[in-house]
Amino acid sequence: MDNLIYIIGGVFFFAIIIVVLITISRFKKRFTKKEKAYYKQKWQEIQNEKDLRHAVMTADKLLEKILKRKGYKGTLGGMLKKGKREFSDLNGVWFAHKIRNKLAHEIDFKLSPQEAQKGLQCFQRAFRDLGAL
């Protein structure tokens, strides 16, 4: 009988530890007011950028920074795969990230203003989905 009480007590204690760890991890992934203000300022700078190539590249870097802050690790592509449930338009986020990859890796890639604007809109939606804006 005593062993059963110890087992039940141990399971109960273990469950409490799990709940506390989950609560702490969720709290850590939320942004402070200061962080949100920082991300909002960076997004404003991106929107005011005249060079659309630079705006897309910077937005991609900001997305990576936000995902790292939320606890994701690896490349941005890997983080997008791991965090796919965080996004209301995962295809849009991939579209925007692929534009950045083309800008970075294809010498002759011509970015149209329409494509850049669509990509930036997708980044903005991702930032909102993540709770950064």
Convert 15-50 to b/e letters by CB count within 10 Å (16 or more is b). Answer: eeeeeeeeeeeeeeeebeeeeeeebeebbeebeebe
pLDDT value at residue 27: 46
In the block, tokens 């800008």 appear at 103
Asked whether the predicted pLDDT for residue 20 surpasses 70, the reply is no
**pLDDT top residue among 8 and 122:** 122
Higher local confidence (pLDDT), 49 or 6 = 49
pLDDT of residue 30: 84
Question: Which range has the top average pLDDT, 16-20, 38-42, 82-86?
Answer: 38-42
Q: How confident is the model at residue 25 (pLDDT cuts 50, 70, 90)?
A: low
Tokens encoding 5: 């009480």
**Stretch 105-123: mean pLDDT, rounded?**
97
Q: What is the mean pLDDT of residues 127-133?
A: 96
What does the mean pLDDT of the chain come to? 89
Q: What is the pLDDT at residue 96?
A: 98
